[in-house]
Structure 1
Amino acid sequence: MEFLEALLLMSSLHLSDVNKDIIRKYFLYLSFRESIMTTTSVSKGCFVFKPSAKKKKLSLTAADYFIESLKNSEDGRMRFESCQLLWQQMKSQTEQLQEELNTKLFDNLIGFLKKSHSDFLNKKNDWNCRVRSSEIPTAALLLGVNVTDHEVTFNSLSDNLNEHVTPYVVLLQAKECPGIKQLLQKLLSQLIGCVADLDEDEEDGHTPISQRKMNCSMASLSGWYQNITNKSSSPKKKRRASSEGLQTPPIVVVFKDLESFTSSVLQEFIFISSRYCKELPLVLVFGIATSPMIIHRLLSHSVSSLLCIELFPSLSCTEHLATVVDKLLLSNQFPFKLSGRVLQVLITIFLFHDFSVQNFIKGLQLSVMEHFNSQPLSVLCCDLQDVKNRVKSLSHDQCENIRHVASFMSFVESQTPEAQVKLLTDDIYLKKMTKTCLTDLHAYHENYTPVLRCLHHFTCILPKYPLGKQIRELYCACLEKNIWETEDYKSALNLLRMLAKDELVATLHKCLEVLKPYSERPLDSALIKLEEFLAHFQSLEADTLENVDYEESSTQTGLQKKTDLYQLQKTLLEMKETRRTKKLSRFESLRLEVVDFLDGLVRNYLTRPEEQPLYEVVYFSAASILRKHVNAVPRIALNTALNNPSTYLKSLENDGTLSSAAPDICIAYKLHLECGRLINLYDWLEAFATVVNADDDSDSDSPKQVDEMTHARFIRAVSELELLGFVKPTKQKTDHVARLTWGGC
């Protein structure tokens, strides 16, 4: 209607060209508005409708990406499901381990919080204890330098406190609290979020605390707490049973990274909080990564005296790692295994980079994914019960993959000529032997772990630990080569042959406990042999002491007969010959038998995994790929990208010359490599403009003035190089920058 009225108006009036142009634009606006009103969105009014019978492409799932990356997706779905199932089991095991390791720490901390809360209730009406009541209960958690693992610990701590002590738990980080105002804002906002979860409705015309604008101060916090506790104690209000029925639950403030907080912010907060100890049951928790002395470095004596501090040390990260290795990698619960080099890469990153168990677990997860993605035979990496069914369903191509595996080819070469022909031509016979090999591989792992533990019990008590103090060190050594071929193993056996009786018997008892669960397996004979050794040691008499006393008495008698030099020399030579031909005592004979028995177990059961046929099914050995993804080298990646951008940008040609088609930062980087320690910005700009404008047609050889666009591109490229750490401004010359890498000319 409006469009028609405007059209009639334009036809009846004599207007200028300018006015007509304005009215035409107005017509376009009206038609555009009508199209919007007839459609459901602006885009439908702006663009042409194109009918399409095709359905929208569905978003790809993780399984689709996994299958697309495979060269042969015949069993891709099964491999992905096996990978997911295996990792879910390993992940649940790690979470359970984390809870078990933190149980003692959390129990002690919860007991401390409950005791502090009971003291607050007892002192609430006691106005004579002003000095003691001004102290704030503070728990100092010594968590270690593995900062990346602290987040998991604090989240678990918060859940435990919400469940057993109080719903009012505040987690603070230094980056969120640069000042006291921001700290109080964060504190109140998190507490208001806790109240939002409680069963509180608007009553009597009052607005809930979460919808009311508050002044962020300790007085507001005190008023809020009194309001909440009064409502929760009312018979009409029922709060969730998350604090075990406490009507006045404490407020726990957790400082995750105490070392990163500003000293003035901490001191001001503690000083203000101490003034409200009579009104607020406030408890502080300090997360400390270094040492408890950091508290006294950050806080003055007058402020630290306001805290009642108690230390709570946590389990060290190395002990946590030892538990993870023991439960995940040395357990026969999971079919997946790591090769010696891969395990060494993960342990090296842990020991020399971050001490983070969570990063170690992420590396383990990456190994699982890479193994199932890159190894076609990983479809057989499952429980022994499922292996038989999966072997039956193998296709001809999968059988060919088995025939091309290096360990299976070695196995074929060791068979008779008739068996070799059948293995290479008959798929049914191949499946039968595959099933046998995988069963033997499973039995190999069942015997490998207990013997490894027995060897570790013997070697961890030796001086200087020739085979390592931790079982993971011994495990890596056994995976890489036959352990009995090393010099460290030979020196360990020599030390074991001199082991004392008490230590030897105690170690035999430990080995007996290790082998007891395997009484119905091939290790049953080893268990019986250990019991015989222990019975012999129990009935052993003190023959050694009697022999020593007899030798000493005879030696003294021989030395007292003659005192001349000739007779003394003769007596000493006779004593030396007697020691050489001395008969071993009963204890020494038993000790040698025990050492020989242990050596036999090691040689029989601790062979390298590479000697087992089809070990590639369960072992991940691509250490270079893991190192590339986990232990990144950013400097090398930057150097490669800036020197050869065609490595990442496939549209560029790798001719090794400066080209205007390359990114600006690559051009500036290559030009700066030609300079010395100090780089003249004007000369650098002219060289940059010459390369960028190389494709422009120029009739004269005289240099052109740099245009604004080229100048802006150069400034941006130099700023990016400065951000990456290649150049920096210098005070020596105002129009120069200093080069920071690879020296200078």
Structure 2
Amino acid sequence: MVVDDFIRIATSYSGVVPIVVVLGLGTSYECVQQSLTKASMSMLNVERFNLQRSRQCIDAAIRHLFVQGEAVLSFGAEAYKSLLDQFLLYNFSISGFVKKLKYAAMDFFYAQPLSIIASIVGRSANDACPVRLTSDQIELIRMQRSVQRVLEREAAEGAGRAHVHKALTDDAFFQDVVLPQLVCRLSAYRQGYCVGIGLVEAIQTMAPEATQKPIRTLHYYGLGMQFDECPHWKTLAAVVRRMNMSEMKTLFGKLCHVLEQIPLVDWTLVSEGSIKVPELLQNASALLASPDSLAKRDESSSEEPKRRIRTRTDMDHRPFMLFHSGASDTELYVLERCCKAVETALKTCLESYHSVPLNEIFYYRHSHLLDTAFSAQPRAAVQTALGKSHYYINCHCCDSVDDNVAEDCGGDEDQRIMPTMHDSSISYRLHQECGRMINLFDWYSSFASVVEKESSSQHPNTAPSQAETQARFMRTVEEMQLLGFIKPTQRKTDHVLRLTWGA
């Protein structure tokens, strides 16, 4: 009855507020019919839905946000690894991933003074800049290492020296002309990177399932290292080199389909050598479609065609084709051209983001900040607080030590035990000098000797009673046990077991 009444009340507000009611997980339609009246069922639009697995959700989020470039902010290699570890190394929860992502976005827009140029991303180079930057902001953009590389390259060409001089001296020219061009190069790189990841996924479909990687891992490889240095790319390149003609035709059909998905890419901005990936792959695909034309062209030439000499290197790079009875030298040459075309396309698309202008601004790199905020280390914090308590409570008497005490500790001031320290700090440092089993009486005797020094230095005529010293020691032992540094043992009732080692 309560659910029926709620549905009637919510229906009256459905024209003002959209209301979605989740009736259960794994609930069948028949169960809902049995639980509700016919009048309530007539007010509902019941639909079943299936939730994706957490790994599928994270892959979809990474594809839309980072690979396809729909988000203004991207992540560098270390920050992305920290973001991914939050999901993989904890509880496979999307909420933790989203929290870390929101925190990074907040830090980017609040702490990065150049985040204001994010409004330029996605605009054409001919569009007017929607924001007006100050002279300090423009100078800060000029100081970015990636921007300096672009200007130095243009100045080295000779013809662009006047352009570079004006970009360095005229703020209005830099904001209206140079900055939109740099942002367009960044956008073109992201589109080319999306094409490169799509090409890798297409190649993976032709590879064994054991060598296939999800898109979250592919994106990490693309951020972390160059194409030639990644072991996964080398594995896929070996798979491509072992393909025969029919498999290579199937592969190039998939690669061309990937290029059709993202047609509007300015390849002159993606590659410095002006390598156009669509033309490169289309020429190789045309060569695959008609290898006989290459053979006829070789026969019509005046020179006698050289017979292919199969060496040990050929056996390493193409073992399958060497032992294939139907493979001619022309087919091997075509396959070699196709392999080089694929490798060139991947090198062009998957170039490191460090070479892109403005990567210092739009690629978030504060991984330490994310780890500090979301990957807390309570043990390290507690040990630091107990070992260096004067940094937390601003106690100058513990920090100031005379030379005699420092010499007794071998010059290591962090290991000294001062009588002015907190009782918990004294017990913690004393327990560090013990072994696996700690004798409570010996521990108490050492603690009492340190406490008596404090009383004798501050109040020479009065000394703490034995009961007071025992009470203070018992409190520190309970605190140490509560923090997880020690625990009682059944073997020896007058001993405790030490649980932590190291600083």
TM-score (norm 2): 0.70
Tell me what 1:688 maps to: 447
**Deviation (angstroms), 1:410:** 2.5
Q: SS of the counterpart of 2:417?
A: coil
Letter in 1 for 2:91: D
Tell me what 1:384 maps to: 122
1:728 matches 2:487 = yes
Specify which of 445, 452, 457 is matched with residue 197 of structure 2: 452
1:403 matches 2:142 = yes
Specify which of 89, 99, 102 is matched with residue 365 of structure 1: 102
**Deviation (angstroms), 1:418:** 4.7
The Cα offsets for residues 110-142 of structure 1, whole Å up to 9 and x where unpaired, read as 4xx224x4xxxxxxxxxxxxxxxxxxxxxxxxx
Distance 1:502 1:646 in 2: 73
Letter in 2 for 1:359: G
1:354 matches 2:113 = no
Aligned ranges 1:572-721 → 2 under 5 Å: 584=328, 587-652=331-396, 654-655=399-400, 656=414, 657-659=416-418, 661-692=420-451, 694-697=453-456, 698-699=459-460, 705-708=465-468, 710-721=469-480
Tell me which structure has the larger Cα radius of gyration: 1
Tell me what 1:338 maps to: 75
**Deviation (angstroms), 1:532:** 6.4
**Deviation (angstroms), 1:441:** 0.8
Distance 1:408 1:469 in 2: 34
Distance 1:516 1:579 in 2: 35
Distance 1:532 1:425 in 2: 45
Letter in 1 for 2:29: K
Distance 1:386 1:661 in 2: 67
Judge conservation of contact 1:167–1:243 (CA < 8 Å) in 2: no
Letter in 1 for 2:199: C
What's the RMSD between the two structures over aligned residues? 4.0
The Cα offsets for residues 572-593 of structure 1, whole Å up to 9 and x where unpaired, read as xxxxxx999x984555444333
Tell me what 2:227 maps to: 483
**Deviation (angstroms), 1:680:** 3.4
Specify which of 19, 29, 32 is matched with residue 114 of structure 1: 29
Tell me what 2:133 maps to: 394
Structure 2 CA distance for partners of 1:244 and 1:520, relative to 1, 3 Å: closer
Judge conservation of contact 1:447–1:605 (CA < 8 Å) in 2: yes
Judge conservation of contact 1:166–1:242 (CA < 8 Å) in 2: no
Structure 2 CA distance for partners of 1:465 and 1:596, relative to 1, 3 Å: farther
Judge conservation of contact 1:408–1:613 (CA < 8 Å) in 2: yes
Judge conservation of contact 2:117–2:131 (CA < 8 Å) in 1: no
Q: SS of the counterpart of 2:501?
A: coil
Structure 2 CA distance for partners of 1:520 and 1:625, relative to 1, 3 Å: closer
Structure 2 CA distance for partners of 1:686 and 1:341, relative to 1, 3 Å: same
Tell me what 1:469 maps to: 213
Distance 1:616 1:718 in 2: 50
Aligned ranges 1:527-538 → 2 under 5 Å: 527=278
Higher deviation after alignment, 604-613 or 640-649: 640-649
Letter in 2 for 1:605: C
Judge conservation of contact 2:193–2:349 (CA < 8 Å) in 1: yes
Q: SS of the counterpart of 2:429?
A: helix
Judge conservation of contact 1:727–1:740 (CA < 8 Å) in 2: yes
Structure 2 CA distance for partners of 1:501 and 1:483, relative to 1, 3 Å: same
Structure 2 CA distance for partners of 1:735 and 1:583, relative to 1, 3 Å: closer
Judge conservation of contact 1:519–1:527 (CA < 8 Å) in 2: no
* Consecutive unaligned residues in structure 2, runs of 5 or more: 1-19, 156-160, 269-275, 293-321, 401-413
Judge conservation of contact 1:391–1:435 (CA < 8 Å) in 2: no
Q: SS of the counterpart of 2:254?
A: helix
Distance 1:649 1:166 in 2: 64
Judge conservation of contact 1:516–1:527 (CA < 8 Å) in 2: no
Structure 2 CA distance for partners of 1:479 and 1:507, relative to 1, 3 Å: same
Structure 2 CA distance for partners of 1:509 and 1:611, relative to 1, 3 Å: same
* Consecutive unaligned residues in structure 1, runs of 5 or more: 1-98, 118-164, 169-228, 246-311, 542-577
Structure 2 CA distance for partners of 1:717 and 1:424, relative to 1, 3 Å: farther
Letter in 1 for 2:186: L
Specify which of 169, 173, 196 is matched with residue 429 of structure 1: 173
Specify which of 60, 66, 78 is matched with residue 329 of structure 1: 66
**Deviation (angstroms), 1:318:** 2.7
Distance 2:345 2:467 in 1: 80
Aligned ranges 1:500-579 → 2 under 5 Å: 500-522=244-266, 526-527=277-278
Distance 1:415 1:529 in 2: 27
The Cα offsets for residues 248-286 of structure 1, whole Å up to 9 and x where unpaired, read as xxxxxxxxxxxxxxxxxxxxxxxxxxxxxxxxxxxxxxx
Q: SS of the counterpart of 1:742?
A: coil
Judge conservation of contact 1:391–1:434 (CA < 8 Å) in 2: no
Distance 1:512 1:691 in 2: 78
Letter in 2 for 1:442: S
TM-score (norm 1): 0.49
Aligned ranges 1:116-265 → 2 under 5 Å: 117=31, 165=32
Tell me what 2:316 maps to: none
Aligned residues: 418
Structure 2 CA distance for partners of 1:579 and 1:665, relative to 1, 3 Å: closer
Higher deviation after alignment, 419-428 or 373-382: 419-428
Judge conservation of contact 1:668–1:717 (CA < 8 Å) in 2: yes
Aligned ranges 1:36-55 → 2 under 5 Å: none
Distance 2:130 2:45 in 1: 55
Distance 2:206 2:134 in 1: 52
Judge conservation of contact 2:146–2:355 (CA < 8 Å) in 1: yes
Letter in 1 for 2:485: F
Structure 2 CA distance for partners of 1:534 and 1:410, relative to 1, 3 Å: closer
**Deviation (angstroms), 1:406:** 2.1
Structure 2 CA distance for partners of 1:409 and 1:695, relative to 1, 3 Å: same
Q: SS of the counterpart of 1:603?
A: helix
Distance 1:445 1:397 in 2: 28
Structure 2 CA distance for partners of 1:681 and 1:486, relative to 1, 3 Å: closer
Judge conservation of contact 1:459–1:465 (CA < 8 Å) in 2: no
Tell me what 2:300 maps to: none
**Deviation (angstroms), 1:325:** 1.4
**Deviation (angstroms), 1:354:** 2.8
Judge conservation of contact 2:69–2:191 (CA < 8 Å) in 1: yes
The Cα offsets for residues 302-346 of structure 1, whole Å up to 9 and x where unpaired, read as xxxxxxxxxx99744333322221122212221111112222233
Letter in 2 for 1:339: G
Distance 1:650 1:406 in 2: 41
**Deviation (angstroms), 1:663:** 3.4
Structure 2 CA distance for partners of 1:166 and 1:450, relative to 1, 3 Å: farther
The Cα offsets for residues 375-399 of structure 1, whole Å up to 9 and x where unpaired, read as 2222222443499666751101112
Distance 2:197 2:374 in 1: 28
The Cα offsets for residues 139-164 of structure 1, whole Å up to 9 and x where unpaired, read as xxxxxxxxxxxxxxxxxxxxxxxxxx
Distance 1:486 1:340 in 2: 14
